[in-house]
Amino acid sequence: METVSVKLSERNQMVLPKAARQALGIKPGERVLVVISGDEVRLLADPSSWADYVYGLGQQVWTELGGGESFLQGERASWAD
């Protein structure tokens, strides 16, 4: 983990340190997500494709439920009761 101090300009702007840009894999002109949670702020690279970024999320949950088709059949069966 590396800690770097940066200074805000009078217009509340800052330069993102080179180490942070490299860690995020961003280049000039690209966007950065600012995630605010209480008194903590996280910077994330804005994905070029949200579909690709979230692809596969929840795969473990669906596997534990027996797959999408099994889950759907169970839900439909509960409607008939």
In tens, the pLDDT along 6-35 reads 999 999 999 999 999 999 999 999 999 999
pLDDT higher than threshold 90 for residue 61: no
In angstroms, rounded to a whole number, what is the distance separating the alpha carbons of residues 26 and 33?
11
Which domain does 6 fall in, by range? Answer: 1-46
- Lowest mean pLDDT, pick from 2-6, 25-29, 50-54, 71-75: 50-54
Q: Give residue 81's pLDDT band: very low, low, confident or very high (50, 70, 90).
A: low
Do 10 and 31 have their domain in common? yes
pLDDT, averaged across the chain: 89
Do 67 and 81 have their domain in common? yes
Domain count, the chain: 2
pLDDT higher than threshold 70 for residue 55: yes
